[in-house]
Amino acid sequence: MSATVSRFRGALLGALLGDCLGSVFEGNTYVTLRWLNDFLKSLEKGERPNEALSYTDDTAMARSIVESVLENEVFDAEDLANRFTAEYKKDPDRGYGMGVVHVFEKLDSGEYKNVFNPAKEQFDGKGSYGNGAAMRVVGISLAYPSIQDIIQYAKTSGKLTHASSLGYNGAILQALAVHYALQGEINQETFLEKLLHHMEEVEADEKSLKEARELELDEFPYCNRLKKIKMFLEQENVPRKNVVNELGNGIAALESVPTAIYSFLRCLNPVTDFPSEFNNLQSTIAYCISLGGDTDTIATMAGAIAGAFHGEEQVPLSWKLCAEGHKEAESWGEQLYGLYHKRLQST
């Protein structure tokens, strides 16, 4: 067991399904189990045409990262910035964040020589702390086997739109979670310990410490949420209300990346609210959606982690066929598998 091709395809398919299914419910504070289960039943019955569920900005940007890392031997931030911008111009109605579209407009204007500068001007020069850098990062974890590379490129790819450390550190955490899931054979506790170990270093940098204080957060905000996840997992039954109140279900990376990680770990154990035949990947996506709020984004991040861990065997055919772009996800998963192992052998 380890980074098998099924896991690469599973990661991209899990991310895609989280987005396509989650976007049906995005922005609803409450998602009733009845509504959710009826919707999921309709997928299983094959009541929807092929590719009837469109993907949103989460996947549109994830696709740009995948295409960029597959086509360039070394990570190329300019190429990625161009792809994000071209994709946005081609298809602006994918539900992009309110702020990030200004970054694309500036990148497109040709007035910025440095592709990282438009992002620095967001939110009065503070940079965005939205979850947009994290939601799209899965391709970095699938292209690079080394932790150092994952941290560096999750950060660099994030900074093209999210200059706040709260934004790009969320991308680093999400990318590391996919990485460890891809290795398989890890229990909840070790998984969290590894993430915590890296995030303690990531969040110790001056800019991260300063920006946490400026936002009136305790220092090491991601580490603190990882510790909260550990506490939740030690409890028998944590009500959804507590998960939402303490980990969040919002559009900020800090209020969604830890929630996605918790959802993945929580759903390694049975969830009674869903049909008993649901596997872990299905439960993970359904669980994220049932939390309400930024459902497409939390489900896409948890879907990437769960898909990387459980593999494509857990991707139901009926769900997959509904999702726009599922064929590309499969083929890119295979190509990334090849790239990852080529890099692994050359180190």
Binding site for Mg ion (CB under 5 A): 56-58, 95, 99-100, 122, 128, 294, 296-297
From CA 324, how far away is CA 305, in angstroms rounded?
20
Q: What is the DSSP letter of 181?
A: H
Residues 6+ apart with CB under 8 A from 219: 203, 209, 212, 213
Residue 131 binds which of Mg ion, ligand R7I, none (CB < 5-8 A, kind-dependent) = ligand R7I
Residues 6+ apart with CB under 8 A from 49: none
Is the CB of residue 225 less than 8 Å from the CB of residue 247?
Answer: yes
Please tell me whether residue 97 binds ligand R7I under the rule CB under 6 A. Answer: yes
Please tell me whether residue 120 binds ligand R7I under the rule CB under 6 A. Answer: no
Is the CB of residue 240 less than 8 Å from the CB of residue 118?
Answer: no
Compute, in degrees rounded to 10, the torsion defined by CA atoms 323, 50, 63, 105.
-100
For the beta carbon of residue 121, count every other beta carbon within 10 angstroms. Answer: 15
* Beta carbon of residue 342, minimum distance to Mg ion (angstroms, whole number): 32
53: three-class secondary structure by DSSP: strand
Between 95 and 316, CB nearer to ligand R7I = 95
Residues 145-184 within binding reach of ligand R7I (CB under 6 A): 164
Residue 85 binds which of ligand R7I, Mg ion, none (CB < 5-8 A, kind-dependent) = none
Residue 98 binds which of ligand R7I, Mg ion, none (CB < 5-8 A, kind-dependent) = ligand R7I
Both structure tokens of 250: 């919002």
Token pair 């879907």 in the structure block, residue: 303
Helix 147-159 and helix 188-202, axial crossing angle in degrees, nearest 10: 60
* Beta carbon of residue 105, minimum distance to ligand R7I (angstroms, whole number): 12
Q: Binding pattern to ligand R7I, positions 241-260, x when CB under 6 A?
A: ----------x---------
From CA 254, how far away is CA 209, in angstroms rounded?
14
Half-sphere exposure of 260 (CA within 13 A, CB side): 40
Between 182 and 261, CB nearer to ligand R7I = 261
Please tell me whether residue 123 binds ligand R7I under the rule CB under 6 A. Answer: yes
Between 19 and 203, CB nearer to ligand R7I = 19
Between 95 and 184, CB nearer to Mg ion = 95
Both structure tokens of 257: 């990346």
Q: What is the DSSP letter of 314?
A: G
* Beta carbon of residue 86, minimum distance to ligand R7I (angstroms, whole number): 17
Give the range of 9-17, 45-53, 270-278, 292-300 binding ligand R7I by CB under 6 A. 292-300
Please tell me whether residue 98 binds ligand R7I under the rule CB under 6 A. Answer: yes
Please tell me whether residue 95 binds ligand R7I under the rule CB under 6 A. Answer: yes
Token pair 């279900």 in the structure block, residue: 249
Please tell me whether residue 132 binds ligand R7I under the rule CB under 6 A. Answer: yes
Between 6 and 23, CB nearer to Mg ion = 23
Binding region for ligand R7I (CB under 6 A):
56-58, 95, 97-100, 123, 126, 128-132, 135, 164, 251, 294, 296-297
